[in-house]
Amino acid sequence: MIELSTHIEYLLLCREEVSVPGIGTFTVREMSSRRVDDEGIFLPPYRTVSFRWDSNEAGEEFIASLSKLHGLSLHEARIMCVEYADELQQALADEGSFPIGSMGYMISEPEGSQPRFVPQQAGIASPTYYGLDALPFAKLSGNIRQGRDKEQKRRRTRVTSFHAEPEAIVIRINRRLFNYVTAVAASIVLFFTFTSPYGNPTIDGENRKADTELMLAPRIVSTPKVTRSSEPKVVPEKEVSSAAPESEVMSDTPAQAEAADRAEAQASPATKPYVIVLASAISRKNAVSFADKLQQMGYEAMACECDGMVRVIVPGFATQEDAYAEIRRMKAADSDLSNAWPYRLKQQPKKLE
């Protein structure tokens, strides 16, 4: 069974559609990138799979490729496909779901309805999109956005204080560059004018010698003698009283901040605002099923309805940095959870049963 699921994924890397005998047709869909403003993330493009159920599908091309890859006869490959379809039907009847490799899984529907295929939210493997991941972005406040727009408008606006004649040649010089070059030239002229001891040599030899000795003689600068007094400095009571409130404020502020951080760290998971979102905008049935699967894997996942959307979350993080640290640990432990992102709750989530 694993070989047939892997073979389907292998064919989808180079084909748009793959028809499996007795099951149906898998079709590749290219999903463009999108920006989710409510959650503050940017999702990159990815490839996903849709499915069309057809129990009468012959799938001759799939049988031929399977026979060629594994060195089987067409009859043996056809028998393998029939056994795969029978096991899928049996698993749907007994367990209600059947995984199709890393592409997704089949879910049984009420009697008389065809099974439904649920693709993985992260999409399927594609060399074109390797290394792309969801990117969080910070929202700009209204003041910052207005200031940015004004700055861009000011840069685009170029004001001239004169109107050139049709036959005149106008030469424009950057004012900032002109000021910079002028300042450098003035600095060079002043340096050679006042720092050279031989800038204005005298004709008289004795005067020249006296000027040279004066320029080369060491300069002795007298410094005031500092005496240490054994008597302590007396500070007036008014200065002490005026300085006391400031010192108290400076000493109390770090203590208050430390107490607030300690209280936030000891808060219960229900009051901690940050959670890790593992799935979003899915049906209630799929959310409960996915949360149960994550709980079996050892994660404290919860299917809930929060901020007007059905999500699967892992709650209990006081800060965004703590949530990012847990996301990195989850991605290192399980690559299927690479699409997780942190989220700050606006209201208390309602758990789904």
Look at the chain and report how many structural domains it folds into.
2
CA dist 310 and 340 (Å) reads 15
Tell me if 155 is assigned to some domain. no
Angle at which helix 2-12 crosses helix 60-70, to 10 degrees, equals 110
- Residue 193 within a domain: no
Q: What is the pLDDT of residues 144-187, one digit of tens each?
A: 777 878 888 887 765 544 555 667 777 778 888 889 999 999 99
Two tokens, residue 215: 């320029």
Task: For residues 102 and 126, give the distance between their C-alpha atoms in angstroms, rounded to a whole number.
Answer: 12
Domain boundary among 105, 136, 167: 136
With b meaning 16 or more CB within 10 Å and e meaning fewer, what string describes 192-214?
A: eeeeeeeeeeeeeeeeeeebeee
Q: Distance between CA atoms of 302 and 334, rounded to whole angstroms?
A: 18
| Residues 39, 341 contacting (CB under 8 angstroms) | yes
Residue pair 137/40 in contact by the 8 Å Cβ criterion: yes
- % of the chain residues with pLDDT over 70: 70
Please identify, among 96, 116, 136, the residue that sits at the C-terminal boundary of a domain. 136
The verdict on residue 321 lying in a domain is: yes
Predicted pLDDT at 257:
54
Mean pLDDT to the nearest integer, 42-55: 83
Query: Within a domain: residue 187?
Result: no
Residue range(s) defining the domain that contains residue 43: 2-136
Is 182 among the domain residues? no
Would you say residue 103 lies in a domain? yes
Q: How far is CA 155 from the centre of its chain?
A: 30
The CATH number linked to 289 is: 3.30.70
203: in domain: no
How do residues 37-46 score in pLDDT, each as one tens digit? Answer: 777 787 778 7
Does 100 fall in a domain? yes
Which of 92-101, 187-196, 218-227 has the lowest average pLDDT? 218-227
Last residue of a domain, one of 114, 136, 158: 136
